[in-house]
Chain A
Amino acid sequence: MKQLLFLIGALIALTACKEVYENPPQALVRATIWNSSTEAELSSKVSIHGIGYDNYWVKDSTIQKILLPLSPMDTSNYVFSFDSYTDTIIFIHTKKLKYESMETGLYYEYQLKSVDYTKNRLDSVEITDSLVTTIWNENIKLYLHPLSSAIN
C-alpha cells in the first residue's frame, strides 16, 4: 500500500513539475557611461523610456551600466535623462530570429547599424560591439559632458 501511495505521489509530482517552462533569453544592448573629458567611468542618475511609451525602462537610478531592449522594428527610439538633462538616442538595427527551444520559445538578436543622438548632456556615442546577443557584452559607450559644462 505504501509503495502504491509512493508511486501515485511520484506521478503527481512528475505531472506537477512537467509544465514549468523557462522564458527565452533576451538580447540586450549593454551601454556604459563615461566622462567625455576625463574618459573615466561615470555614474549618472538615469531615467529611460521609449518615445511614445509612458512606462519607464529605468527610472531615477544612479548607474554606470545600462541594459536596454531593442524593438522588433528597425529602430529603437529612447529618451534618456542624465541628471535631468534630456537626450534622445535612436538605435538603427537589424534583427535575426533565434530559436532557444520549443519549451522556452524564440527571441531576437540584433546588429547595430548606427546610433543617432541629440547632444545635450551627451557628447558622443561609440559602438564598441555591433552584435547584440544574449551574452550582454558592452555594445556602446555613452560619453557625457561633465555636469559643469552640460548644455541645458
Chain B
Amino acid sequence: MGMDVTRPFLDLWTKGNRYGTEFSVDMELWPNLFPVFESGYDIMKIKTSLIDYKSNGSYSRLGIDYNLLQAEHETDKDILFVGLRYGFTLARQQVNNYQIDSYWGPDIGRFGSQNYSAHWTEFLIGLKGEVFHNLYMGWTIRGKVKIHQTDLGLPPVYFIPGFGKADKKFNLDFTYSIFYNLPWDFRKSIKGKKTDNKK
C-alpha cells in the first residue's frame, strides 16, 4: 500500500493551485509482476483578476509493473520496474466568473458546472527500495498519453485530474511515494507450494 507524497505539493511546480492525494495498492501476484491499482483526487484552481476557475475530480488507474531486477534472496523486495497503466477520471469544472476588460468597461460572465470524463494510458519507469522494515520509498517517471476526453465546447476542458493539462496530448509526471508492505510473503507461499508439490 502506498501514498504519493508529491500530490499535496503539486502547487509548487504547476501553474494555478493544484493539489491532491493519491493512494496505491500493488501485489506481486506472479514472480516480478505486480498488478497495481492507484486512485486519487485532484483539485485545480486558477484565480486571477480576469478568471476564477475550479476543477476537481477523482481518478483511478489500473495496470501492471514488471521488475527488472533479479532478487538476490527471497526477502529482497527492492525493485527497478517498468509499468503500464490505464487511467480514467470523472470530473467537473466551473468558471465562477470571468471578466473581459476593454475601453467600454468590464464585461462579466460565468459558466455553470460542467461534468466530463477522460481516459489515458501511462508508461512509467520507477524504483522502490526498503528504507525500514516493511517501509519502502520510491519514485516513478510517467509519460501520459491521452486517449479521449469529453468535448465540452466553451469553455473546453482545461484540467484532467490524474492526467494534467487537457490541451496537451502528452504529459510528463513524477511521483514520489511511501509504501507499507503488508507482512504477507508471497514468495514464501509460492516456494512452499512448489515444495509441497515435489513431495
Which A residues have a C-beta under 8 Å from some C-beta of B?
11, 14-15, 18-19, 21, 23-24, 26, 50, 53, 55, 57, 69-73, 76, 97, 99, 101-108
User: Which residues of B pack against A, CB within 8 Å?
Assistant: 12-16, 46, 48, 50-51, 53, 98-104, 107, 109, 154-156, 158-159, 167
User: Do the beta carbons of A14 and B13 come within 8 Å of each other?
Assistant: yes
Instruction: Determine the chain B residues whose CB is within 8 A of the CB of A99 once the complex forms.
Output: 154-156
Residue among B12, B46, B48, B104 making CB contact with A11, cutoff 8 Å: B12
- Known contacts A103-B46, A108-B107, then 11 further A-B pairs from the complex at CB < 8 Å, ordered by chain A residue: A14-B13, A15-B13, A18-B13, A18-B14, A21-B48, A102-B155, A103-B48, A105-B99, A106-B100, A106-B155, A107-B100
A105-B48 in contact (CB<8A): yes
A15-B12, A99-B156 given as contacts; is B102 within 8 A of A72 (CB)?
Answer: yes
Residue of B14, B51, B104 near A106 (CB, 8 A) is: B51
Q: Are A69's CB and B12's CB within 8 A?
A: no
User: CA–CA, A55 to B104, complex, Å?
Assistant: 10
Residues of A within 8 A of B154 (CB): 97, 99
CA distance A14 to B15 in the complex (A): 10
Contact B104 A50 (CB under 8 A): yes
Q: For the complex, what is the distance from the CA of A107 to the CA of B106, rounded to whole Å?
A: 11
Distance in angstroms between the alpha carbons of A14 and B46 in the assembled complex? 17
Partner pick for B102 among A14, A26, A102, CB 8 A cutoff: A26
Give 10 pairs: A residue, B residue, CB < 8 Å, sorted on A.
A18-B13, A21-B48, A24-B50, A50-B103, A50-B104, A72-B102, A102-B53, A105-B98, A106-B109, A108-B100
**Cα–Cα distance between A76 and B107 once the two chains are bound (Å):** 14
A71 contact from B53, B101, B104, B156, Cβ within 8 A: B104
Residues from chain B with a CB closer than 8 A to the CB of A23 are 50, 101
Q: Which residue of A lies closest to B46 (CB)?
A: A102
- Which residues on B sit within 8 Å (CB–CB) of A50? 103-104
Do the beta carbons of B100 and A18 come within 8 Å of each other? Answer: no
Q: Is the CB of A72 within 8 A of B100?
A: yes
Check if A69 sits within 8 Å of B103, measured CB to CB. Answer: yes
B51's closest neighbor in chain A, by CB?
A105
Closest to B14 in A: A18
